[in-house]
Structure 1
Amino acid sequence: MTRWWVAVAWIEELLNQGGKQVDELEVYFFSGTSVSADLKQRRVSLCSSSVETGLCIRTIDKGKIGSSSTNDPQQWQACLDAAIAGGRLATPMVWKGLPDPVALPDADLAFDPALFVEPETANDLLRGMLDGATAYPDATVTSGGAGISVGEIAFANSHGVRYASRQSGVSISLEAISGQSTGYEFDHACSPSQVNPQRVGERATFLASRSSGGKDIPSGEYDVILSPMAYADLLSAIFVPALNGRNVLQGRSKLAGKIGEAVTAPQLSLFDDPHRPGASGSTWFDAEGTPTRRLDFVRNGTLTGFAYDLKTAYRAGRQSTGSAIRGGFAGLPAIGHHNFVVDGKRDEIFDEPAIYVHSVVGAHTANPMSGDFSVEMSNPFWVRDGELAEPIRGAMLTGNFFDLHRQVTALGKESRAVGSYILPPVKINNVRVIGK
């Protein structure tokens, strides 16, 4: 919501004082409450609540950027002094100014006003997962958790920007074991009505129960279906870093210089959609106060653009794409995305034999420059007659992810949120599998 948050009027005094000492400054203030509850087997082992506040100040003077943060807003004067002092020691850079204010819509995109942050809500979510877990009684619940949070962000700068937005979040997860096989599932959204705890419990125990007794497969090339979870892991480790304008500018992106070229299969489109109602990353403005917009990276297989924040855009002679994010109130703005969406023509992808991969282990070891990767498959199954059939034991996926993106043959019909990604399962032909 773009209303100004009256409760933090002290920010005006901060801006007034800072404006007398530096060319520009911005203020990012967060206040929120949360409740979490953890399971140990089928019992609640811990339930906790917290109240968090945080302030981050960034100053710019003669191209020198300084910053400081604190979790005690009453210490804003000391925080401002530290940011200004740090800026004096910084190396000057090309800087063309903080954003000016614009009129933004009033609706909060990622907030449920009916959400109550209380232990009983978290316990209801835990009970729902445990109820779902009874569908496969041979699997034992080992752990799980539920978290609920609401928060408000106030953002202001010396150019007159005064924005505020409210956010809410619900997350659940469950892990189960059957013999030597484990299963894990999760869900997250802005509202309890958007998550399905029974489904999470059932799916976690299904994966544990059905993965038991897996058989080895010989090495070779197979048609593979990556679940949204497995696909998101590889996408975030390899392809998404290549869309980062800073990596492009520094020559660390395999996609640099390829605007207008085909970089994926033609049925794929990849974009950031920050205005999607109900999606966890939705926002009208980014972490630097730049208005957000849909940003197309790949359209029908063709590379169309990269993501930039202010600092990188100025260095590259471009404009910010509204892609600045923060990793918490103490984190400085950096290039990221809000809701990274993979879309395109949908089809039935389980109607022919393939290997289904629920998740992967080791995506962080991939080489984002070359795209080469080798990961362990977790909870893989043969796909037969439209269903998950026999489990597979101990196998690896290997190859080049940029090449595999060109080999995507179909997208599944339903998408799901995995962190900041919204994407379907994908089917890729002729993937190298290392078995026994």
Structure 2
Amino acid sequence: MSQSLADLTQSLLTAARKAGADAADAIAIDGTSLSIDVRNGVLEQAERSEATDIGLRVLIGRRSANVSSSDTRPETLAAMAERAVAMAREAPEDPHVGLADPDQLARDWDVAALELADPAPEPAPAALEEDARTAEAAALAVEGITRIDAASAGYGARRIHLAATNGFSGGYTRTSRSTSCVAIAGSGTGMERDFDGDSRIFQSDLRSAQDIGRTAAERTLERLSPRKPKTGAYPVIFDERVAASLVGHLMAAVNGSAIARGASWLRDAMDHPVLPDGLSLIEDPHRPRAGASRPFDAEGLPTQRRAIVEDGVLKGWTLDLATARKLGLQSTGNAARSTSGGPSPTPWNLELTQGDTDRAGLIAQMGTGLVVTSMIGSTINPNTGDYSRGAAGFWVENGEIAYPVSGVTIAGNLREMLRRMTPANDARPWLSRVVPSLLVEGLTLAGE
């Protein structure tokens, strides 16, 4: 009988000690993934994978090394530990590396309250295939759609366990269920595509496949016959579908790794305004049924709700133990890791304060400008915050959508952009990043 993940991580720690490690932590992940693709009403591809992956980090003084494997035989565990210890002895010293102190560790967490795993049975492949077929048929039923590029459905389940020689041991299970559809309209150089999809922890929360297919088709038809707007300075609305990217740039700038290197345009912004007055950005890793929720981080520290930005003012970096030590601070419980690497600071669920109006209200308020629904490429200067991205969406005149646009480049500076944001109230509350559509004044558009 195969070992449990808890036993497997303890076996790795025992092997590390035997091989000469001063300290160690181990992670084990096993999971199942099932995906179905349909094209022209016919099953095109069905994939199922099952795997167990293990990772070991050993420490000798202030030196460390990581090894990983998908082979869980006892002789492999011993070989991994010996190899990791040999690597650590040759590694450069890092004065900030090390496990958490025992009094820092998470205790008495409530995994059930987070609702990370759907207790419903794994769906049969036929059920996933039916979802994909339904999404494809719903999109094709919309007049003007010429074909479907992809219609897919999937399911995944993962068990994760972390243990360390400081006494920590804990694990949890995650599930996911998804459906997506990409529709195409037009032909030749006039061809356009768009998509819709949904991914949830609980299968019962998933939007209907018919709704997903129909929405993908409608979005595609709206993009036909695009133009380029005139070059100039205009207000821009980042549609809810893409608005979280702005928050993503903010989070990259407050990541402890960037701050410790001095490579962030917000490196001197602590306790200074970075968003408009009244807007807050809250991190909550304990939100039920949310994709980035977790009871503890990858170093065994408790996760916690915190304000990254409060009333427009920056209040915290995103820190793991090592970056916190470099900065003379305490970890914020934001360590993440894979089996093949050590911890690094990573944000969990985020929620930006919403406004008082819907997307249509923002469009009316904007008057003339651009609504961005998709983006390509990215040129972000991490030191200055200079921003440039390709975009497509809709041109607005007199507060109403006039025509689709593509091939436009948006440019600005993130420090100024984030301070000029006006939020709508249309964020989807089940996403890990709950961010509404955002109106940003005075950006430069390069079009015709």
TM-score over 0.5 for the pair: yes
The answer to whether residue 362 in structure 2 is matched with residue 360 in structure 1 is no
- Mapped pair 1:338 → 2:352: no
Amino acid at match of 2:384: S
Q: 1:302 to 1:129 in 2, by over 3 A?
A: same
Residue aligned with 1:394, SS: strand
Task: Identify the residue that residue 408 of structure 2 maps to in structure 1.
Answer: 395
Alignment root-mean-square deviation, CA? 2.3
Partner of 1:92: 93
Matched with 1:406 is 419
Partner of 1:257: 268
- 1:125 corresponds to which of 102, 110, 131: 131
Per-residue CA deviations over 1:190-227 (Å, capped at 9, x if unaligned) read: 12222223332222211211111223321223332212
1:82 aligns with 2:83: yes
Q: Structure 1 residues 284 and 160 mapped into 2: Cα distance closer, same or farther (>3 Å)? A: same
Matched, 1:421 2:433: yes
Q: How far is 1:136 from its partner? A: 2.3
Seen in structure 2, the aligned counterparts of structure 1 residues 374 and 12 have a Cα distance that, compared at 3 Å, is closer
Separation in 1 of the partners of 2:63 and 2:196?
Answer: 46
Change in CA separation of 1:381 and 1:135 when aligned onto 2, cut-off 3 Å: farther
Report if aligned partners of 2:283, 2:306 keep a CA contact under 8 Å in 1.
yes
* Cα contact 1:155–1:163 (8 A) shared by 2: yes
Distance 1:346 1:148, change over 3 A: farther
d(CA) in 1 for partners of 2:399, 2:240: 21
d(CA) in 1 for partners of 2:306, 2:80: 34
Q: 1:410/1:263 Cα in 2 relative to 1: closer, same or farther (>3 Å)?
A: same
1:37-436 to structure 2, matched below 5 A, reads: 37-74=36-73, 75-94=76-95, 95=97, 97-100=99-102, 101=105, 102-107=107-112, 108-134=114-140, 136-139=142-145, 140-179=147-186, 180-196=191-207, 197-236=209-248, 238-326=249-337, 328-351=338-361, 352=364, 353=367, 354-363=369-378, 365-382=379-396, 390-415=403-428, 420-436=432-448
Q: Secondary structure in 2 aligned to 1:172?
A: strand
CA distance in 2, matches of 1:317, 1:150: 38
Greater CA drift, 110-119 or 339-348: 339-348
Question: Number of paired residues?
Answer: 427
Report the Cα offset of residue 390 of structure 1. 2.5
Relative distance call for 1:124 and 1:368 in structure 2 (3 A) is farther
Paired residues of 1:169 and 1:191 also in contact (CA < 8 A): yes
Change in 2 beyond 3 A, CA 1:332/1:228: farther
Instruction: Output the amino acid matched with 2:168.
Output: V
The question of whether the paired residues in 1 share the 8 Å contact of 2:15 and 2:77 is answered with no
Question: Would the alpha carbon gap of residues 115 and 396 (structure 1) be closer, same or farther in structure 2, given more than 3 Å must change?
Answer: farther
Structure 1 segments unaligned to the other structure (5+ residues) = none
The runs of 5 or more residues in structure 2 that have no matched partner are none
Contact persistence 1:225–1:428 (CA under 8 A): yes
- Counterpart of 2:347 in 1: which secondary structure? coil
Change (3 A) 1:9 1:209: same
Aligned residues of 1:349 and 1:427 also touching (Cα < 8 A): no
Give the TM-score normalised by the residue count of structure 1.
0.91
The Cα of 1:276 is off from its aligned counterpart by 0.8
- What is the CA–CA distance in structure 2 between the aligned matches of 1:316 and 1:226, rounded to whole Å? 34
Q: Partner of 2:325: helix, strand, or coil?
A: helix
Q: Which secondary structure state, in structure 2, belongs to the residue aligned with residue 91 of structure 1?
A: coil
SS of residue in 2 equivalent to 1:246: helix
